[in-house]
Amino acid sequence: MRKIITFVVMVFSVVALLIPIMAQEQSAIKADDALSLLKEGNARFVEMKLQHPNQSIAARENTATDGQKPFAIVLACSDSRVPVELIFDRGIGDIFVIRVAGNIAVDSSVIGSVEYAAEHLHVPLLLVMGHTQCGAVEAAVTGAQVEGDIRDIQEKIESVASKVRKGHPGLRGAALSNEVVKSNALQSKKDILSKSEEIRRLVSEGKLKIAAAVYDIKSGSLEWIE
């Protein structure tokens, strides 16, 4: 019995030592590795071969004790069909998620959230993710009548739609909307860089990489764009 107790104590001691080491490794992950984790997780999601990493009592308790150490920031649309952690088959503490209708980046709360994650949590990757059949984009493309603060979002995306129409005069319908979705994601990337001196510094120092993608709500897959 004494040997068993000694063995159990040793096991728990080793685990206790490994937890902070694992956390440190995650916080020090490189941008390209973080991007690979997102791509691998999305591939599992598309095939519904989910591994559900960090979705356990231990993960929940560890993040409560040791704090969060996400490896990626994702700026996504608020659409309920875009469940970020599920799309990438990740769990508690893995992704710092910012969601706003139309995945736009004009509000200081959005920019500040990105700055917090990049500077204070040392997250190496920011993904700006639009999605197909986006209601905010559709409203901007069709000129739908909206009221209240929704109009501010619509106007922001309307400027993107106008540029797309000028550059691609032959696009209509779904093809036009899809192109606006892509351009809108890239515009949010530009907006973050233009409005945040801190983010520009982190990017120039190689501490932050910014990527853009479009999520297909039907297939579950991502189209990576530049």
How high is the pLDDT of residue 222?
98
In contact, 63 and 93? CB cutoff 8 Å: yes
So what's the pLDDT on residue 9?
42
220 Ramachandran zone, left/alpha/beta (phi>0; psi -120 to 50): left
Burial 56-74 (b: 16+ CB within 10 A, else e): eeebeebbeeeebbbbbbb
DSSP label of 102: G
The distance between the two most distant Cα atoms of the chain, rounded to a whole number of Å, is: 80
What pLDDT sits at residue 208? 98
Q: Is 98 helix (H, G, I), strand (E, B) or coil?
A: strand
Q: Which residue has the tokens 């501490």?
A: 207
Residue 77: both structure tokens together: 């649309």
- The parts of the chain modelled with pLDDT lower than 70 are 1-27
Taking the model in full, what pTM does it have? Answer: 0.87
Nearest to 128 by CA among 43, 14, 224, 17: 224
> Domain 30-225 is classified in which CATH homologous superfamily?
Carbonic anhydrase (3.40.1050.10)
Q: What span, in angstroms and rounded, lies between the C-alpha atoms of 128 and 77?
A: 9
